[in-house]
Amino acid sequence: MTGNGKGKTTAALGMALRAWGHGIPLFLIQFVKSDRATGEYAALERLGIEVRVAGLGFVPPRDDPRFEAHGRAAEEGLQIAAEVLRSGRYGLVILDELCYAVARGLVAEGAVLGLLEAADPSVTIVMTGRGATEGLIAAADTVSEVRSVKHGFDAGLKAKKGVEF
Ligand code: ATP
Ligand code: MG
């Protein structure tokens, strides 16, 4: 799921719900994001779905001294993802915002492609985030681009509980 419109993460969460309903074991890693006080985090925990937050929030420019720490957090997320994907224990693994982490240079595209190659063949992998790179698009079976027609943010609306988080 990529593109500038709203709905990428929520679509992935919809897939999580669908898999959970079938009793399929799943794991969700949120890259870039740092907030555990979201509705999805609470819901996933309550459903007994394994979830990790592996980000530090708003990504600074590459020349900002804080950028490196964001890169390290993303790398840690990748390590977790590598183990989870290789384990063969999960039918669905969601790597939320990983496309965006690659687009912003927090992790190398090649590292993600390596992860996909090493994954257990039975696992379905979902990645979300703006600016999916050509290599990630080529590696995927299905790619949806969510196009923004309009967003309340541009009219000054604030992020709303239960809608944005
Ligand atoms: P959601 O989590 O609501 O499914 P998303 O995953 O598609 O959104 P991201 O790029 O991950 O979108 O951005 C997350 C946040 O940015 C959400 O709060 C979302 O409402 C907001 N957002 C999404 N698209 C836009 C846009 N075109 N302009 C401003 N804010 C946006
Ligand atoms: Mg998102």
Task: Please indicate, yes or no, if residue 29 is contained in any of the structural domains.
Answer: yes
Q: Is the CB of 34 under 6 A from ligand 1?
A: no
So what's the pLDDT on residue 137? Answer: 98
Task: Please indicate, yes or no, if residue 151 is contained in any of the structural domains.
Answer: yes
So what's the pLDDT on residue 109? Answer: 98
Q: Whose CA is nearest to atom 16 of ligand 1?
A: 6
Task: Please indicate, yes or no, if residue 164 is contained in any of the structural domains.
Answer: no
Q: Is the CB of 5 under 6 A from ligand 1?
A: yes
So what's the pLDDT on residue 15? Answer: 98
| Residue 119 identity (one-letter amino acid) | A
Task: Please indicate, yes or no, if residue 119 is contained in any of the structural domains.
Answer: yes
| pLDDT tens digit at each of 165 positions of the chain | 999 999 999 999 999 999 999 999 999 999 999 999 999 999 999 999 999 999 999 999 999 999 999 999 999 999 999 999 999 999 999 999 999 999 999 999 999 999 999 999 999 999 999 999 999 999 999 999 999 999 999 999 999 999 999
Task: Please indicate, yes or no, if residue 45 is contained in any of the structural domains.
Answer: yes
So what's the pLDDT on residue 104? Answer: 98
Q: Which residue range forms the structural domain that includes residue 113? A: 8-155
So what's the pLDDT on residue 14? Answer: 98
So what's the pLDDT on residue 95? Answer: 98
Best CA proximity match to 95, nearest among 22, 155, 153, 8: 8
Q: How far apart are CA 62 and CA 51, in angstroms?
A: 28
The maximal CA–CA distance of the chain, rounded, in angstroms, is: 45
Q: Whose CA is nearest to atom 31 of ligand 1?
A: 6
Residue to mutate, 1, 6, 145, ligand 1, most ligand atoms under 8 Å from C-beta: 6
Whichever domain contains 150, its CATH number is 3.40.50.300
So what's the pLDDT on residue 65? Answer: 97
* Three-state secondary-structure class, residue 96: strand
Q: Which atom of ligand 1 is least distant from the CA of 164?
A: 18
Alpha carbon separation from 161 to 37, 164, 165 (Å, rounded): 10, 6, 5
So what's the pLDDT on residue 148? Answer: 98
- How many domains is the chain built from? 1
Residue 83 in tokens: 């183990």
Task: Compute, in angstroms, the gap from residue 21 CA to the centroid of ligand 2.
Answer: 22
Q: Which atom of ligand 1 is least distant from the CA of 148?
A: 27
